Structures are given as structure tokens and as C-alpha cells.
């Protein structure tokens, strides 16, 4: 799923956090697999973000539906081959955080495929390059 609330939490050991609501299909997948992948989004992925953000993996295989090239890291979670950077995390902690849940992952692998501008979400659904 496209997620805006993704951030570093520790340098050594390297931790990243992802904050989602429990109703997300992604949440149940991460709990099951005890792992997750973070894929940074480059400007060329704007259309895909809109598509993947308005469908749920509980009903649609997004990789097949939107023809998303993928590969697998050592934790067997799918990583996006078109993403500039992918980070693979082992789930180490879940923390209730108001109406969201913070999933803390320890980085076990990372790949930088290319340099790219980033994009961020602004005013609801607008995607802005930086």
C-alpha cells in the first residue's frame, strides 16, 4: 500500500517505523509474515500510487492488476523493482498509537537501484515532487 507515515526510528540497530490503521489489509499481511518491505516512491510512480491507494489487496492482486515488477529479498516479502530504494525489515515490535498502530522493523537489507527525486503527499491526495 502507498503509505506516508514511514520514518527512521533508530540508527544502531537500524529501525524503521510504519504507522497504519488496523483495518488495512497490509497490517494483516505484515502480522502474518512478521516482515515488511519499504519501497520509496519516485516521480514516475505517481500513477501507480493512485491506483494502489484506491484498491485493497484483500480483493485484488495489485502486482498482477497494475503490472508491478517485483523481486524478493531474504525475508520473502515482495519488493518493487521500479522503486529507487527498497528496504527489507523484520517486524520487531507493534505499538498501539491512538487510531493507528506503529509497526517497528529492523532493517535486514536495503538496495538502491537508482537516484531519483522523491515525492510527498500534500493537501490530501496531491503528490508533489521534491
The residue ranges that bind a copy of itself (CB under 8 A) are 5, 7-15, 17, 19, 95, 97-100, 102, 104, 118, 120, 128-130
Measured over the CA atoms of residue 39, residue 53, residue 9 and residue 77, the dihedral's sign is negative
Q: Which is nearer to a copy of itself, 40 or 51 (CB)?
A: 40
Q: How far is the CB of 103 from a copy of itself (least distance, A)?
A: 12
Integer-rounded Cα Rg, in Å, for the chain is: 14
3-state SS, residue 62: helix
Q: Which is nearer to a copy of itself, 9 or 29 (CB)?
A: 9
**Cβ atoms 21, 100 nearer than 8 A:** yes
Q: Which is nearer to a copy of itself, 21 or 28 (CB)?
A: 21
Amino acid at each position: 500500500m502507498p503509505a506516508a507515515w514511514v520514518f527512521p526510528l533508530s540508527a544502531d540497530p537500524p529501525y524503521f517505523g510504519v504507522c497504519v490503521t488496523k483495518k488495512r489489509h497490509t497490517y494483516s499481511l505484515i502480522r502474518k509474515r512478521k516482515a515488511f518491505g519499504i519501497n520509496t516512491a519516485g516521480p514516475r510512480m505517481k500513477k501507480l500510487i493512485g491506483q494502489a491507494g484506491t484498491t485493497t489487496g484483500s480483493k485484488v492482486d495489485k502486482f498482477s492488476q497494475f503490472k508491478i515488477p517485483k523481486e524478493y529479498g531474504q525475508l520473502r516479502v515482495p519488493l518493487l523493482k521500479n522503486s529507487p530504494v527498497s528496504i527489507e525489515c523484520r517486524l520487531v515490535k507493534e505499538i498501539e498509537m491512538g487510531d493507528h498502530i506503529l509497526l517497528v522493523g529492523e532493517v535486514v537489507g536495503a538496495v538502491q537501484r537508482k537516484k531519483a527525486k522523491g515525492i510527498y503527499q500534500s493537501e490530501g491526495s496531491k503528490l508533489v515532487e521534491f
